[in-house]
Each structure stands twice: as C-alpha cells, then as structure tokens.
Amino acid sequence: MLALDSSSARIEIQCLLQQVLHVSRVHLLGHPDRFLQDFEQPRYNELLRRRLAGEPIAYIFGEREFFGLKFKVTPATLIPRPETELLVDLALARIPPREPCRVLDLGAGSGALALSIAHARAGVDVTAVDASQDALEVARENALRLGIGNVRLLSSDWFSGLAGEHFDLIVSNPPYIAATDAHLEQGDLRFEPRTALASGTDGLDDIRRIIAQAKAHLNPGGWLLFEHGYDQAVAVREILREAGFGEVFSARDLAGIERVSGGRN
C-alpha cells in the first residue's frame, strides 16, 4: 500500500477531490464544509483505491502538465517529469529563431518533448518517432488536442525508419535505468512501460546506440542532446567524444544534477 507523509497525503486527497468535483484548488479550499454527494462518493472511492494501490496520479487523471502544456498520458507512455524541461530549454537555445530547422525526437512517448519544442517554435519542422504504436496514438491525440501541426509522427525503432534523413537537432529522453535497478520496482516506475525505462546492465545500451547512429543523421554543425541518469554524465561524455562529437557538455537541472548531455557534429 502507498505510504505518504501527512502533507503529501493531504495534497493528493485534495487533487482527488478536485477531480471528482470538477473544481479548482482555490474553490476547494474556500469551501471546507462541502460534503460529497451520494453520486460523487463512489467515484472518489474508486480514485482513492487506485492511488492507495500505488497507481500514479498522472495515470489516474490521464494527464500531466509539462512545459506549460497539458498532455494526455496512459500506461503506454512515460509520465513527463519537470527535470526533462531542461532538455526542452537546451534544445530551444540551439534552434535559430528565424531560420529553417529540422528537429528529431527519438522515443516520442506522449509527445511531450517534441510537441513542446514545436509549440515554442512554430516555424520548426519536428519529426518524432517511437517504436510503440500505442504511444504514437497518444502523441497524435496530444498534437490534435493542442492544435500543433508542425510535428510529423512516425513508427521507428530509433533511426530504423529514417533512412537518408538528416536533421539540425536530435533530442531524446531514452531508457537509461539499469535493468536490475531496484527502483524499477518502486513508486511510479512500477506502472510505467519497462521498455521506456530500462536499457541493459548499466542503463546505457540505448544511449550508446543513439550516439553511434546519430552522426549519420545530423547535418554539419548539428546537435545531439539527450537526458540520462543522475550518475551517468561522465560515461556519456566519454561515449560522445569517442564517437567524434565536439563541444561535448553536460547541463545540471534545478537540483544540481547533471541531467542532460550533448555534443555537436
């Protein structure tokens, strides 16, 4: 059963009540004497049961905010996390404001990364790929719901469906957790798609594959940027250098963790 401290539990109960009552948090706090109606109680009980079983709030509600946009999420996709917004910021900083630019997102999932970039840069041509058809359907629905039309969604296992295509910027939030990591059996990770989380004995199998193939799909001067684990920055910088990338760097998130690394073709 889920265990939360009293402060977190109170916030989550308020979120469940907001969902059932269809009200804002301000409204909820302003009406502390409001009782659930008979027809509302079963719905609340069901949401509470799912949360107590550990199911992530994002899957219970079916959405998660990311980079100021609301995305539909399902168990077929990862739950977008605030630390990944750093990757969007770094990508946008490398997109010329008034020049043509082709961007590729590897492992689109819900489309949070690709659609956030496309929304912020309406003139950019964004391609997003995923090997999961279920994930692509979620990304397509998000693109439609958000009214974002400058994104092409393709079925592809990393670069397999992109023969002959070249891009100015490649971004990815790939699987990077070691297959034997105990965290995979804890918290929200228990409910998220394992194929989008785990990657070999050291968590770097997919990152190695992306780096090895990226240069063949990057225009001269193009960038490769990707998220990785909290303790993987040194290793991925070395892999990037060995593959011939220049200007290799790592960037820290708000917690001070080296969260994103990249290099230039």
* Tally of structural domains, the chain: 2
Rg value, the chain, Cα: 20
Between 167 and 9, where is the model more confident?
167
Domain encompassing residue 116 = 76-264
Clarify whether residues 91 and 32 are in a common domain: no
Clarify whether residues 148 and 218 are in a common domain: yes
Specify the DSSP class assigned to residue 253. Answer: -
**210 belongs to a structural domain:** yes
Q: Rounded to whole angstroms, how far apart are CA atoms 194 and 32? A: 41
Q: Which residues pair with 169 in a beta bridge?
A: 103, 223
At 82-105, the pLDDT tens digits run: 999 999 999 999 998 888 999 999
Clarify whether residues 82 and 42 are in a common domain: no
Structure-block tokens of residue 52: 């107590």
- Which secondary structure element, helix H or strand E, spans residue 144, and what is its range? helix 133-146
Clarify whether residues 111 and 47 are in a common domain: no
Structure-block tokens of residue 265: 């073709």
At 103-137, the pLDDT tens digits run: 999 999 999 999 999 999 999 999 999 999 999 99
**61 belongs to a structural domain:** no
Clarify whether residues 30 and 81 are in a common domain: no
pLDDT the model gives residue 22: 84
Q: For residue 182, which amino acid is it? A: A
CATH number at residue 161: 3.40.50.150
Mean pLDDT of 210-233: 97
- Indicate the length of the chain as a whole number: 265
Report the side by side order of strands in the sheet with 246-252: 151-155, 125-130, 102-106, 167-172, 218-227, 258-264, 246-252
Clarify whether residues 13 and 95 are in a common domain: no
**140 belongs to a structural domain:** yes
How far is C-alpha 174 from the chain's CA centre? Answer: 9
Mean pLDDT of 238-265: 97
Q: Rounded to whole angstroms, how far apart are CA atoms 31 and 21? A: 12
Clarify whether residues 48 and 94 are in a common domain: no
At 179-189, the pLDDT tens digits run: 988 888 888 88
Clarify whether residues 43 and 161 are in a common domain: no
